[in-house]
Amino acid sequence: MKVSIVCASHKGKNRLPKLINSIYLNSIKPYEIILCITDQSDIMLISDNLISELNIKIVFSTIKNQSKQRKLAISKCTGD
DSSP structure class, residue 25: H
Closest listed residue to residue 56, CA positions, set 9, 6, 13? 6
Average pLDDT for residues 21-28, to the nearest whole number? 95
* pLDDT at residue 80 tops 90: no
Query: How far from chain centre, in Å, is Cα 75?
Result: 13
- Neighbouring residues of 20: CB distance < 8 A, sequence distance ≥ 6: 33, 46, 50, 54, 56
Q: 6-20 pLDDT, tens per residue? A: 999 998 899 999 999
* Single pTM value for the model: 0.90
| Lowest mean pLDDT segment, chosen from 10-14, 47-51, 55-59 | 10-14
Euclidean distance between the first and the last CA atom of the chain, given in angstroms as a whole number: 7
> Do 29 and 54 touch, CB atoms closer than 8 A?
yes
Tell me the pLDDT band of 43, cut-offs 50, 70 and 90. very high
